[in-house]
Copies of this chain bind each other. A is one copy, B any other.
């Protein structure tokens, strides 16, 4: 078996120990005589995994006691709908900060719901005109004083833009999509009313979504929706309202165990910073060749995007990298170019190998 250097944007590389553990016990989980995914979600065997995943999340992120943590399905995209359904009342408004493809999508979905119930989903600020090459600065945001909440994304995977320090916008409830940088760095949960994240970047496989929300915010949610669409019912049922994606949550548990034993969020933040610094140093040393459109202070530690002088060179770069066992480097079709995703499970040696390749590539083709 030969493992490859995987820079995929998500679904992304997972820690090999988390996968080996899954492999070794796939047909017989902890002596139960069956796979973890064949166990009942109401069994003691599974519930221990479920509760361990939840408590590891609380511990690793230092989530305050008055916050609920739940596992849902449907990815961040489902949250784009569920957040306004619960928290944007008829006649109300929500403020959206748009700084890339994902925060734009969150806004469009909210706008559809707002339209259906006679509410408004406003764009309080957008960097669309500049092509999403920097974060939105708090001072340029035009907030609605009566907004039910402000929604933003901490990191934009397609445009490679990230808040290096997490801002808050005004005094409304803060809702944040952290799909692509949750658990990559330390931050204070307390300013947020609700945080959500699809698992498939830093947490586990696709098919699991994590929601972290202040309990009193959850309680404000609309009550006349089907139960499956309300956050409170999932909280009350400890994420066992209906059958959860048990194997996905089990893998989340494995990934979080790995993260904890690797030194937790502090250690991974340091490592992520070093990986990104090494890569951006090569980009900056050859800025005429590796052209990063993102402003310096908005560059993402998770997804570095750049273009080569021609599309033909972009393609050659991806092809040659693949021959050298590095994959997942092609930029998103929306913007083209190259994208290097540097999530937690991307090993520092892979980044060093990529940097060496990049220096060699510019020497040969620059």
Contact partner of A27 among B1, B12, B78, B227, CB < 8 A?
B1
A263 contacts B by Cβ under 8 Å: no
A143 contacts B by Cβ under 8 Å: no
| Apart from the given pairs A9-B40, A13-B38, A207-B207, 9 other A-B contacts in the complex at a CB distance below 8 Å | A1-B27, A41-B206, A75-B242, A76-B242, A77-B242, A205-B245, A206-B244, A206-B246, A247-B247
Q: What's the Cα separation between A200 and B39 when bound, in Å?
A: 11
Q: Is the CB of B228 within 8 A of A33?
A: no
A169 contacts B by Cβ under 8 Å: no
* A107-115, A132-140, A288-296, A356-364 - the one binding chain B: A107-115
Q: Is the CB of B26 within 8 A of A11?
A: no
User: Size range of the interface on A?
Assistant: 35 or more
Contact partner of A26 among B19, B34, B78, B241, CB < 8 A?
B19
Say how many copies of this protein the assembly contains.
Answer: 2
Q: Is the CB of A14 within 8 A of B35?
A: yes
A313 contacts B by Cβ under 8 Å: no
- Produce 1/0 per residue, A46-73, CB < 8 A to B: 0000000000000000000000000001
Chain B residues whose C-beta falls within 8 Å of the C-beta of A75 in the assembled complex: 73, 242-243
Name 20 interchain pairs, CB-CB below 8 A, sorted by A. Answer: A3-B27, A8-B39, A11-B243, A20-B27, A22-B26, A40-B328, A73-B73, A73-B78, A74-B242, A77-B243, A81-B229, A84-B226, A109-B227, A112-B224, A112-B225, A112-B227, A115-B224, A116-B224, A198-B243, A205-B247
A317 contacts B by Cβ under 8 Å: no
A residues lining the B interface (CB < 8 Å): 1-4, 6, 8-14, 16, 19-20, 22-23, 26-28, 32-35, 37-41, 73-78, 80-81, 84, 108-110, 112-113, 115-116, 198, 200, 205-208, 224-229, 241-248, 251, 325, 327-328
Contact partner of A109 among B76, B113, B228, CB < 8 A?
B228
Chain B residues whose C-beta falls within 8 Å of the C-beta of A4 in the assembled complex: 32-34
Distance between A133 CB and nearest chain B CB, rounded to angstroms: 24
Contact partner of A325 among B3, B33, B81, CB < 8 A?
B33
Q: Which residue of the partner chain B has the closest CB to A5?
A: B33
